[in-house]
Amino acid sequence: MKDLKMFELIYVSTAANRMTKDNLQSILMESMRHNLDHDITGILLYDQGSFCQVLEGEKKAVLSIFKKIKKDKRHMNIITVSEKDIQYREFSAWSMRFINLDFYDREMIKGYQDISGSRMNWAEINASLAKSILMQFKSM
């Protein structure tokens, strides 16, 4: 289905502390509840202390939640990788899908090692690589 005036924002950040399963779970619970109410969808990826998130929805809603997310003390070094209008949502099935890369084989993720050998330096990622990595989780 085509959504009119959709907006997509991708950012990366660094967890402020070591994230426990419970920490991650509560971020996800808050996100899913709020995102459902505001018709926001996306994926939150966690990779050994780094986050990469795509948020999609109505522009005002996405920018407003991103403003909140940026103030969240549970992460820092928030870098906006991409923000743009889109024709339709890619992740419409999820109010927020959570992916912890520890449970995946990183070697199977295309582009994962492009930046710095075996371990991704998320802070250096560009828009097309970030999108392509996130897109791989649509079908994984």
Ligand X SMILES: Cc1cc2nc3c(=O)[nH]c(=O)nc-3n(C[C@H](O)[C@H](O)[C@H](O)COP(=O)(O)O)c2cc1C
Question: Could you list the residues that contact ligand X (CB under 6 A)?
Answer: 13, 27, 30-31, 34-35, 44, 51, 53, 55, 65, 68-69, 72, 74-75, 96
What is the sign of the dihedral through the CA atoms of 32, 38, 43 and 45? negative
Q: Which is nearer to ligand X, 95 or 109 (CB)?
A: 95
CB of 140 to ligand X, least distance (A): 20
Give the contacts of 5 (CB within 8 A, at least 6 positions apart).
Answer: 58, 59, 85
Q: Which is nearer to ligand X, 7 or 31 (CB)?
A: 31
Q: Which is nearer to ligand X, 44 or 125 (CB)?
A: 44
CB of 23 to ligand X, least distance (A): 9
Distance, in Å, from the CA atom of 80 to the CA atom of 35, rounded to the nearest integer, reads 19
Beta bridge partners of 12: 52, 79
CB of 13 to ligand X, least distance (A): 6
CB of 138 to ligand X, least distance (A): 17
Distance, in Å, from the CA atom of 39 to the CA atom of 83, rounded to the nearest integer, reads 17
- Residues 115 and 52: beta-carbon distance below 8 Å: no
Q: Which is nearer to ligand X, 51 or 137 (CB)?
A: 51
Q: Which is nearer to ligand X, 36 or 110 (CB)?
A: 36
Element counts in the chain: helices (H) and strands (E): 3, 5
| Nearest position to ligand X, beta carbon | 34
CB of 79 to ligand X, least distance (A): 12
Q: For residue 33, give the H/E element and its range.
A: helix 21-38
